[in-house]
Structures are given as C-alpha cells and as structure tokens.
Chains A and B, each alone.
Chain A
Amino acid sequence: MKPNWQAFATLLLSALAFSGTTDAVEGGLVHTNAIRTIDLRSLPAVTEQIGVVVQNVRDSKAIKTFTVYIPHTKADRLAKVTVHERKSGAELQVSKMENEPFKYSWLPQPIEYRATFLQPLQPGEKISLNIDCVYLNTIEPRPKVVEQTGDQTWLWKDDARLLWAYPIHKEKTVVRTNGEIKSYSQIKESSKDGKSVTFGPFIGGEDLNAPVEVRFRDNREQLEAMTHRREYFVSHWSNDLNILEHYALRNRAPALDAFDKVKQTMSRFMKARDNFVKTLLVKVPADAREMYVVDEIGNVSTSSVTSRQRLNGDAFKVMQLKPRYPLAGQWNYTWWHGYSVPLSNYLRVNRNHHALRVPFIGSIVGSASQNEEIPLTAINTYNTAVSKYELRITLPEGATNVDVRVPFDVDSIRQMPQSYYFDSSGRTVVVVEHANVAPSAVDAHVLVTYDYSMLSLWQKPLVIAFVVFALFALTSLGSRMQLGLAAKPALTAKKTQ
C-alpha cells in the first residue's frame, strides 16, 4: 500500500505547490516544456537530467532565481545537483535552502534548491536549463532472491511526473537502461524502444501523477560502501604520506536462494558467470609502497598488486584484493587497507607555509570475473557507491593556521586534536564528512594549507631526548642518595649451610 500513499502525498504536495501557498518561492515563472532523461546505464549511480524551458510570465519585474524541489523520498540518496544553461553550458550557482517550503504541512517536506540566473530573467524572456541530479543506490533488485548464477533484474520506480515549484505545461520522462527491459508500467502514455522506455508527454493540469516502474536486466556488479573512511597521515620526518582506507562493503546484487558450493566450484572451473564478487580492485599511485590488507581478525593473505601500469597517460598500480569469501548478493565485507606514498609529490612548501593537495576520495571496483587477472580497463568503471564517507587528514604535530578547501559542498568539515607516537602537544586532524559521494568526486582534490616551522619539526626529538636525559639524571641522583639510617650493608652475606 505504501507506493499509493507516496503518490497521494506527492499529489497533495503538487496541489499545494500549484495553489501558491508557498511564500518562500518567488512566483511568476512557468516551465513550458520539460524532458527528464533517467540514465540507468552506470549503476549504482542514477543520473537524472531534466531539460526544462523556463519563462518569466510577469508583466514588469525581472526574476533572479528559481527553485528546484527534490522529493523527500529521494532526498537522502541525492549525491549532486547542478544546473547549467543549455545554450552556453555555463553553470548556475545552486544553494540548498534550509527552510521548509510548505508551511502548515504535516507531510514530509521536499528539499529546496535555489539556482541563481546568470542574468536576471526579463519579463517574457525564455531560457533553457539542464538540471542534473545524481542519486545513489536507489535501484533495488527484483526479484530479491535469485539462484547464484541467475540473472540480476532491477527495478526503477518513481513518479511519472516531477514535483515542480512552478506551473508546468508539458513534461515527459525517458528511462534508459543497459539491458533487456523485462517489464514496465503500462499506462496510457508509455512506450518502449529497445532498451529505453518513455512515459509521457503529460500535459500540465490535465494528467494526474502516477507511480511508474521499469524492470530491466543488468548483470554488472553493483556495490555499496555503507561506510568508507579514508585517512591521511602526514609525516615530514620520513617524507611519507600514509593512506589508510576503511571499508564496509555490501554487494547490492539479489540475495542467494541457497548457497551451493558444488555449483560455485563448477562455475569457477568452467569460468562461467555467477553473482559472486570475487575481486576488489583499488587503484593506487605508481610510487605506492608498503601496501597491506587487514580485516578485524587478521591479514587477508590472498591479495596481490600489479606492477606499474599505464592507461590513457595515467601511471598507477592496481591492488587486487580478494575478500576472505566471495561476496554473494547482499553479503557484507569489512576490511581496511593502506599504503605509503612520497609526501613531496603532494606537498608544496613555501618557507613555513605548507599546502597539501590530496585526492578527496579513492575508488574501488568490484569484479565478479572468474579470471585471476582482471583487465586493466575495469579500473575506471564506477560500480561502488559510497553512502557515508569520512575523510581524515592528520597533520604533523605543531601545524597551525589550518585551512581546508573542498571543491564542492560537503556535509561537515571540522578539526579536532589528537595525539600519536610520543606527541607532547598533540596534532590537528581535519575531518570531512559527506553522505552520498557523487562519481565525479573521484577526480576532486582537497587542499589543506597550514603553517609549520622548523622548530616544530625538532620538537619531538627534543622532547624525547629531554625525557630520557631527565630519567638518567634522576636515576643517577637516586643511586647517590642514602635513604636508610644505617650504612648500606654489603651484599656479601654467606649463603646458608
């Protein structure tokens, strides 16, 4: 019954929106035509591109901003929203609004994003915009349970019509998939063309909203990193940047109906397909060293690393991690791995001023291939979506004036004190948290600037030397002191007979 309730809620919200009870949104805009293209070809990321024509229907006043709603049902899976002018390709500034768009409503509220036009929209003027949204892990397997060599079928489900802040004249939705379409909602306006399905066009004011769905086959691997924590440790002494990545991973494929060892052994022998993710590929810099893979109960000794590789002018190595057990659908695996790289490749020093530029996130690729060697091109496929991400950068002891810059909005950035390895005054750890990391963030970098003097570099050896010296001095003093009243008896007492 749940989908109906959702549809009802959305309908009600749309009704509210149309009736103009929202005083936060500037009125006077109309969407004349909208085409929504949903791209399901690079799961688990779902890209929604909405091409929309916006017109100012006011008589006199120019309009500076316009509003985009993200329904609450999808809001917690949203990774990214961007708005571009279609003609020029210029990006509009988008900011998330904290207010609740619909007052006096007991229903869950949609999230409001407000985009600012590059030039205010003059009365009567039209502009074509592209709104791009990326969602993660919204597609669920249906059926939920299959055989271990069975096909994976996925269900896309959404409302046929979008939730608009302004009146809409005409809209339609196109769903593109990568595999055979098994079924789709047979409503009046739906049609199938090969691997894509179209819903609409719907005429504003006439056609009611309805939930629609598409079931399609896609046997490629899909994983969710339920939590991912990447840690950097900066060490100036050994010119070393240590990287540590914690993962809690889940295979998103449909669950097994029954585990069958015999079949698993046979398909490995025959190199036949099954749904077990057997290898995890991690791309590491070509100069990475001292790599390791550990989980809560010890080393995972079945992993390997390739020699230096080159692909599209990019030099790297690939860590091929084999989890302790192959990951069937819905199975979990938790582990951490790490390596070191030379710090000088990531650090710019200008006197006391240091600038550290490191990748925002590392990617991981799951592979169900039966082969021992996975082709190199697989490393650039995106099939692991990170739901909860945390980045920690531990700066050396004595770093001050810390400033962090991330090229996009993140949920939180904070700094906290921490002590390691004989620290006397403690060091600063930068913590960045972000939910639903968009695929494009793989290429992003974080810039951390801080001041660090020569004195701080020598602080630790000096403190340790001083402590050791003090201990020796105390011992020396103690051995020279006479605490008892009588003179110390020489320990030459004869042994008993």
Chain B
Amino acid sequence: MKVLGLSAVDQTRLLRICILGLISIVAIGSRLYSVLRFESVIHEFDPWFNYRTTKYLVHHGFEKFWNWFDESAWYPLGRVVGGTLYPGIMVTSAAIYNALHALNIPVDIRNVCVFLAPGFSALTAIATYQLGKEVKNETAGLLAAAFMGVAPGYISRSVAGSYDNEGIAIFLLVLTFWLWLRAVRVGSAMSAAVCALSYFYMVSAWGGYVFIINLIPLHVCVLLAMGRFSNRLYVAYSTFYALGTLASMQIPFVGFQPTFTSEHMAALGAFGLIQVVAAAYYVRARVTAVQFRTFVACAAVLVAALLACVLVVLSMRGAVAPWTGRFYSLWDTAYAKVHIPIIASVSEHQPTAWPNFFFDLNVLIWLFPAGIYFSFRELSDNHVFLILYSVFAAYFAGVMVRLILTLTPIVCVLAGVAVANVFEAYLSHSPGPGVAQVPRAAIMGAMLFLLCSFQWHSSWITSTAYSSPSVVLASRGPDGSHHIIDDFREAYYWLRRNTEPHERVLSWWDYGYQLAGMADRPTLVDNNTWNNTHIATVGRIMASDEDTAYDLARRHDVDYVLVVFGAMLGYSGDDINKFLWMIRIAQGVYPNDVREQDFFNSAGEYAIGDTASKAMRESLLHKLCYYRFGDVMGAQAFDRVRKQRLPSSVTLHNFEEAYTTENWMVRIYRVKDLDNLGRSHKNAAQFDST
C-alpha cells in the first residue's frame, strides 16, 4: 500500500526518521527545565571552569589556549591549563560558536555552553539507536534511543547549563562502541579507523576514555578465549589500537601515558596477543592438525596470564606507573576513606546507595537482566561485548555514584533489546479468534503502562532533582510563592566589581572555579585538586586560631577570605559542615598543627557555639561564620542547620567584614594590613578603646 507515493520500506524509513526526530526533541526539551525555571546559567562547580576556558579559547584563539598558563589559579603556583585539561568540550563549543558567527548569528558563548549538553543528548539518542540496531534491530534501536533520551541517569549530567565533559563524552562513548561493533562485524580497516577517530575525540573530551581502552581489549581477549578469532576482528582491533593510541597521545594531558601506565597496559597486551593468535592461525592454515585449536586456546590464556604477571611485577617495581588513587578506590571502596581524604570528601566519589539505581534508571533496572538473558541466548560477537559492558559498568556504578552515567547507555540498549523481544513475540500478525488476542492485548497494555510510567518518572526526577543550578537556589514561601536565593552570585559579583583584579581570595576549594569564573579573582585552591599540600594549607588556615591564621594568610598574600555559611537559611552544604574534611585534609599534611580530636568537645560531639571545644571555638572558620551573627538573630537564637545555640560572643581582630550577602550565605572578610606600630591588632584595638 502506498502512502504519499512511498513504498512500505520507504514509509517505515520515514517513520523511523520522524520517531528519532521526536526522541531528539523530547531529549532536548526535558533538559530545559533548569532554563525555564531559572535561567540560562552555567551550573555547579566544574562547568564554571570549562566555561571560563571556553571563553578564553574563543577570545584568544587555539594557539594561546594550548599554551595558557593561568597565574590566577593556585596562587602562587599557577596552573598549566592547556596541558592539564581535556580540551574536547571547549573545542566543540568554540567550533559551534565560530560556525554560528560565520553565519552572522551573534550568539553568546554562554548560550552555546549552556545548550551544548542537551544538543549532544539528541546525538546520543541517535547513536544509541545505531547501537541498538547493530545488536538487534531497528525496533530495539528506537526503544533504546527513547530510553536514552530521557533516562535520569544520563540527564543528571546533561541538563542545560551542566557544561561538563560528560555532556559530550557519553555521546562519544556510545558512538565509539557502536563504531567498534560495526568494525568487528564488517572487518574493514576503514570502519576501524573511523572508530579510532571517534575514540580520539572521546580521549580529548573525558578521562573516562580509559573505560573504552580497557573494555575493547577485554572484548577482544574474551572473543579469542572463546575461540572466535577472525580476520575481521584482527583487522578491526589492530587498526583501532594503532591509530587510536597514536591519536590519543596527541592530547597533552594524556601524552605518553598509553605507553607506560597500567590503565593502558591491557590494550597493549591484547594487541600483542592478537598478533600471536593471528600468527598461530596463519600457521594452522599450513599445518593441518585437529588438536591445534585447543593448543592455541591454551597458549592464548597462558600468554595473557604471563603478560598480566609481568604487568603486576612492573607495577610493583615502579617501572610502570602505579594506579592513581581514584582507580584504587574503584577496587577497594574503603581505600579512599583511609588514605586520601580529598577523594573521599567529594560526594560524587561515594559508593552508590541501592535506591540510586532505581532513582536513576527506574523500570530499566528490571528490563536490564532480561536484556542480558536475550544476549546470552543469541551470543554473537556483539552480544559478548554487551555482556562484558554490562558486567563492568554495573560493578563500577556500584562503587562510585557518578559512574551510573557509564552504566546508563548499556542499560538502555539492553532494555531496548528486551522490550523489542517482547514486541516481537506479542505484536506479530497471527490470525486467530478474538478471545486469543486478549492476553496479548493485556501484556501489551502492561508494557505500555510500564513505558509511560518510566517517561513520567524521568520527567519528574529531571524536574525535581536534576534541574537546580546550585549556583542559584530556590525556595517556596508558605503561600507557594517562588523565591530565588541568589547569594552566591551577589557575593561573586561584588568581588568582581569592587575589589582590585589582582587581589587574592581564599576560600575552600569547592568555590575555586566559581570564584575564577564569576568573581574573576585569583584563588589559592580550586576544584582541580592537584596539590594536596596547598589544599591542606588552606584547611589549616581555616582550622587555626585567629593569630596563626592571620600570619599564614599574610604569608600567602591573601586579601580576602570567603566563607559560606548556611545558618540563616538552613543551607546545609555550608563550610561548617565541610569543616571536618578540611581538618582531616590539613591533618594529613600538618599532623602537629591540626588534630581532628581537638575539634570534638568533651562529650565527643562535633558542636558549635559555647559547647564546642576550645580549638573549634577559636578556629578562624568558626569565628568568620558566627561573627556578629548573634547580634541580628538575638541572644537565644539557634543555628538553623545544626540546631544548636549560637556562640554568645565572637571576637575578631585581624580580619574585618568586607561584605555579607542578603541571607548571610556568603561572608567575605578583608585581611587587615599590618599595624603601623607593629602591634598585634588585638593590642591596637585595646589601646584605641582605652
């Protein structure tokens, strides 16, 4: 039957394109809650760094960007920005920006950055469709794309304004895997080269590329162990590894790592192995022996084991770089807590709680095992890959909460496969009596309900949990009115407009990127936590008594100290609640000066106010937060976060209040100049008052 003059095949093709278009629109649309509810603003912390570097790239060009040494970060050390970042996302935004300007569309770079992640989420959906099509058929592809478009696990990192590496990296991850499976199926060097190109883009965009460069060799090894060597696999992997590795080494941040770090050794080993196996097969073609096959399988396993042993030995002797702390914490979840407080202090590095899986993936989490089951039933080369991917991604997602992100694509694909199988079984045109159709209709109805509830759940989660910029907060009044709490930007903009451009601002590292991006002032530490000692020094300043802190702050040329304080509003993410981490990190470097024990009172509580321990009461952070707070809240008032009584008196001599925001959330203090007569500020104040 012809509609619009199109044959049935063309009709389905057109329909598929339309459906993919709709999925893209839904994917983009559901990520715009934050813009509608708040505004087009960069979210959270790391995106501010990406945004700032993108602006630098756009304004100064690629050459300057590559060689950028940022002296305003990590004062006085500075940071080699060009060599310590993944430039993929900045280059992508700059390319889009320049293309639009070439068409005379005067778009603001901020808007390019804000809408980049939603735009790429549409591409991710399309790539997922291709992946689903590759492993099953178009139905599975479309379902997988629809899941991927709205899965909260991915939305959490790709709402408008969430301008982070993951925003484009998930697209590249799916794209690379699809191209890999296609290269293995087709076995052409061309497809494998395209896959390597996509891998290169991925390397330039996100440190998560390590997942690819371990998973693909694993796929190869497992296929070899299963005796599934083929020339297609050989061509695909050899091309991919050679080109991909060479390309990845062009990123300065990666550099020569693929040649010596343990994270990349598996890929190298697999490359060697497949050469050996290929040689063996070549030999076998000439020496017709039936037992040869088992022999090769054994030899392959042996060689792999041998290589692994060599790797371990080399790692232990230090010839191969040891695994970095973040990777250790992937294997041993308690490792970071004991050894590296700075990693443990980041909430997104915590192990995942069970409800999180349901929260982020909803019904997909039940369809996922079904998809694995169907993969086992068919078990082509592609399905082996899917199974490996699911096992590893599931493990990593359990270890670190933010890695649910890498799990989401495979869950979507396998759920798509599972639902497509259900559709196949129940939607086929089989003639029969009306009564026989009833169970069929019931099952389809239930399935439809499940899918609708997934969509509903996703929208709800997106709107309530993942659409807050965290730079701007919102609250609801008792009458349901919408209030915007904008204290962070108030403080940052005050700094930007009313301090000298060279003046240094000291704050805990969480706010470093935002200070650089919004206040445009030099900071001592920021979210690129590369120097633990420097961070510990800041922690020590916060934890020391006022005179020591003043001395240290002056030695580090600090002009302003910024603290975040939530007691007025009940904002629990403030510095007092983060204080224990500051103390722990400081203690790691200065065990003689800062002791965690001192900050617990005699009852063993982490208290504030008059019941706090002496070290706590005298610490700089405690003073800066509560200075004169009681005067406005009244003597009997409570801290609304900690539900404890406020300290009765807080004195401050060496620092003076420079600005406090409307809701007291951000307080900025000026470090006083030295007294003209060389007295301490306390003595000077006493002398003046008498």
Write the residues of chain A forming the contact surface with B, with a CB cutoff of 8 angstroms: 258-262, 265-266, 295-299, 301-302, 324-325, 331-334, 419-423, 493, 495-497
Contacts and interface: CB of A to CB of B under 8 A. Distances in A.
Interface in B488-520: 489-490, 492-494, 496-498, 517-518
A422 B484 contact: no
Contacts of A324: 486, 489-490, 493-494
Given A324-B489, A332-B497, A261 B39 contact: no
A297 B184 CA distance: 48
B267 interface: no
Contacts of A331: 497-498
Contacts of A421: 104-106
A298 B657 contact: no
B533 to A, nearest CB: 31
Secondary structure dominating the interface of A: loop
Contact of B39 (A266, A299, A496): A299
A249 B103 CA distance: 34
B236 to A, nearest CB: 11
A12 B595 CA distance: 73
A495 B185 contact: yes
A298 B486 CA distance: 11
Contacts of B486: 301-302, 324
Contacts of B381: 496
B106 A495 contact: no
Interface in B190-235: 230, 232
Q: Most chain-B Cβ atoms within 10 A of its Cβ — which of A298, A493, A495, A497?
A: A298
B232 A496 contact: yes
For B39, B103, B104, which residue has the most chain A Cβ atoms within 10 angstroms? B104
B84 interface: no
B660 interface: yes
Interface in B18-48: 39-41
B657 A260 contact: yes
B444 interface: no
A439 to B, nearest CB: 26
Nearest to B39: A299
10 contacts: A259-B657, A265-B632, A296-B493, A296-B496, A297-B489, A297-B518, A299-B39, A496-B232, A496-B382, A497-B380
Contact of B489 (A258, A298, A333, A493): A298
B532 interface: no
Contacts of A262: 628, 631-632
A227 to B, nearest CB: 13
A496 B230 contact: yes
A419 B104 contact: yes
Contacts of A333: 497
Given A258-B657, A421-B105, A298 B497 contact: no
Which 9 pairs show the lowest CB-CB distances between chains A and B? Answer: A261-B660, A419-B104, A299-B39, A332-B497, A298-B41, A262-B631, A324-B490, A301-B484, A297-B518
Interface residues of B, number: 38
A333 B664 CA distance: 20
B659 interface: yes
A331 B497 CA distance: 8
Interface in B464-500: 472, 484, 486, 489-490, 492-494, 496-498
Contact of B659 (A259, A302, A334, A420): A259
B41 A325 contact: no
B377 to A, nearest CB: 13
B658 interface: yes
Contacts of B106: 420-421
B610 to A, nearest CB: 20
A496 B380 contact: yes
A331 B494 CA distance: 9
Contacts of A265: 632
A324 B632 CA distance: 21
Given A261-B664, A297-B493, A298-B41, A495 B382 contact: yes
A495 B382 CA distance: 9
B138 interface: no
B637 to A, nearest CB: 13
Contacts of B257: none
B39 A298 contact: yes
A298 B471 CA distance: 11
Contact of A325 (B105, B517, B659, B664): B659
A259 B660 contact: yes
A239 B43 CA distance: 36
Contacts of B352: none
B461 interface: no
Nearest to A467: B103
A265 B497 CA distance: 22
Contacts of B547: none
Nearest to A297: B518
A6 B486 CA distance: 49
B104 A420 contact: yes
A325 B494 contact: yes
A297 B497 contact: no
A226 B29 CA distance: 41
A139 to B, nearest CB: 22
B574 interface: no
Contacts of A419: 104
B661 interface: yes
Contacts of B489: 297-298, 324
B304 interface: no
Given A299-B41, A495-B380, A423 B104 contact: yes
A324 B661 CA distance: 9
Nearest to B668: A259
B596 interface: no
A325 B493 contact: yes
Contacts of B492: 297
B140 to A, nearest CB: 13
B618 interface: no
A331 B496 CA distance: 11
B186 interface: yes
B657 A295 contact: no
Contacts of A497: 380
B104 A422 contact: yes
Contacts of B104: 419-423
B557 interface: no
A493 B188 CA distance: 13
Contacts of B657: 258-261
Given A262-B628, A333-B497, A421-B106, 20 more contacts: A259-B657, A259-B658, A259-B659, A260-B657, A261-B628, A261-B657, A296-B493, A297-B489, A298-B40, A301-B472, A301-B486, A302-B486, A324-B494, A420-B106, A422-B104, A422-B105, A493-B185, A495-B380, A496-B380, A496-B381
A494 to B, nearest CB: 9
A261 B632 contact: yes
Nearest to A292: B39
Interface in B601-635: 628, 631-632
- Most chain B CB within 10 A, of A266, A301, A333, is at A301
A333 B658 CA distance: 16
A80 B185 CA distance: 81
Contacts of A260: 657
B656 interface: yes
Contacts of A493: 185-186
B260 to A, nearest CB: 34
Interface string B647-679: 000000000111111001000000000000000
Nearest to A334: B497
Contacts of A258: 656-657
Contacts of A302: 484, 486
A332 B493 CA distance: 10
